[in-house]
């Protein structure tokens, strides 16, 4: 696993975007200060609540925000698109406040939109108090949650285009992305840096090769550039996307009582693929959860149980099974009292396949 490399981070995760599998975790749910990686959520909320062409007039209060800046001037008029570039490339805290006020009227109201988005994504270790990530009470997240925010944001083509941009002339400014991986790592496509003295170095990055996207998160990591490159290298080299089962493929069969056929096939509802190392692939176990038998008539496509895939006893993924064909009842055969009684007490027990 990627753990062979390790990291210098207090907290870290590596996420395979397509499958949602975390390939590496270190204190993934520890609440942490997250500095400007906050701005991924800010941009996500803005893109859902404003139009890129909206014009924002900069207020005086937004020109004096401490920390990193795109150097907005009072009365200046910029589009939401221009402010998003300043937010995500220059990490402008002034742009963050200008966007927040435009979308919600004030900072607390925008923070509520951020927290509503966090709930929608199912994040349980995140709470936002501002749009820029300056240290504040009740402003925190964790490595796992940041990876999920990044995965959601990278599905938005406008967000993805912005965070993958190295340099651009925008709103009369030459903006340069703070994410050095865009220059130094093959396949890097985003996403956001962060730093305060208390938070330390924070980094969320994404890389894509051969159609596979990975997201790495490190919090409080003095060697984040090297750690992210090492995590990506390990994952791209050792993990291969493998098909556990294909949709509609036969994965087993179950006996049929009182039917014109003695068995009925069981087919998988969905295709299941996961990134697995060769060693992990050899240890995957298949478990069928289904009735010991079924009485005819059997209807094709009816739910028949589940197939589960486990690694070292832990569930990797599962999908529903369905009956692969109709099995009419054999009309000359009648069910005896004992057959009915046996059926009544039949139990659904997992069947170990390998």
* Annotation marks residue 39 as catalytic: yes
Q: What secondary structure does DSSP assign to 117-135, as a single string?
A: HHHHTT-SS-B-S-SS--S
- Residue 231 and residue 224 in contact, taking contact as beta carbons nearer than 8 Å: no
Nearest one of 261, 319, 333 to 294, comparing CA atoms? 261
19, 91, 126, 265: the active-site residue? 91
**Which segments within 5-58 are labelled E, that is strand?**
11-16, 22-26, 55-57
Q: Which token pair is 314? A: 């832990």
Q: Which token pair is 161? A: 């285009």
Phi-psi region of 20 (alpha: psi -120 to 50; beta: other; left: phi over 0): left
39, 68, 90, 126: the active-site residue? 39
* Annotation marks residue 180 as catalytic: no
- Residue 217 and residue 22: Cα distance in Å, rounded? 11
* Annotation marks residue 164 as catalytic: no
Q: Which token pair is 310? A: 């486990």
- Residue 175 and residue 15 in contact, taking contact as beta carbons nearer than 8 Å: no
Q: Which token pair is 290? A: 């289904």
36, 141, 164, 205: the active-site residue? 36
Nearest one of 54, 196, 61 to 132, comparing CA atoms? 196
What positions carry a catalytic annotation? 36, 39, 91
């Amino acid at each position: 696993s990627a753990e062979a490399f390790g990291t210098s981070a207090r907290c870290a995760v590596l996420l395979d975007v397509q499958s949602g599998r975390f390939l590496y975790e270190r204190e993934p749910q520890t609440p942490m200060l997250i500095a400007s990686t906050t701005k991924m959520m800010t941009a996500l909320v803005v893109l859902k609540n404003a139009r890129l062409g909206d014009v924002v007039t900069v207020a005086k209060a937004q020109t004096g925000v401490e920390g990193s800046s795109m150097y907005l001037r009072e009365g200046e008029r910029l589009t939401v698109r221009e402010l998003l570039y300043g937010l995500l490339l220059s990490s402008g805290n002034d742009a963050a406040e200008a966007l927040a006020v435009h979308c919600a009227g004030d900072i607390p109201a925008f923070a509520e939109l951020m927290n509503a988005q966090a709930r929608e994504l199912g994040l349980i270790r995140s709470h936002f108090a501002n749009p820029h990530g300056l240290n504040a009470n009740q402003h925190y997240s964790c490595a796992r949650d940041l990876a999920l925010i990044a995965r959601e944001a990278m599905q938005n083509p406008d967000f993805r285009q912005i965070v993958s941009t190295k340099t651009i002339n925008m709103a009369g400014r030459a903006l340069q992305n703070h994410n050095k991986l865009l220059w130094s790592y093959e396949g890097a496509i985003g996403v956001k840096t962060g730093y305060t003295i208390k938070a330390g170095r924070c980094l969320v990055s994404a890389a894509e090769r051969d159609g596979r996207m990975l997201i790495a998160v490190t919090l409080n990591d003095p060697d984040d550039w090297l750690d992210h490159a090492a995590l990506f290298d390990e994952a791209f080299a050792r993990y291969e996307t493998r098909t556990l089962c294909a949709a509609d493929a036969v994965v087993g069969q179950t006996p049929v009582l009182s039917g014109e056929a003695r068995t009925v096939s069981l087919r998988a509802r969905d295709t299941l693929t996961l990134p697995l190392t060769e060693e992990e692939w050899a240890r995957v176990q298949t478990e069928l959860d289904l009735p010991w038998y079924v009485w005819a008539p059997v209807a094709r496509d009816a739910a028949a149980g589940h197939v589960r895939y486990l690694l070292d006893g832990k569930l990797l993924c599962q999908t529903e099974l369905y009956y692969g064909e109709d099995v009419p009842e054999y009309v000359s055969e009648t069910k005896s009292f004992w057959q009915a009684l046996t059926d009544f007490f039949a139990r659904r027990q997992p069947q170990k396949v390998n």
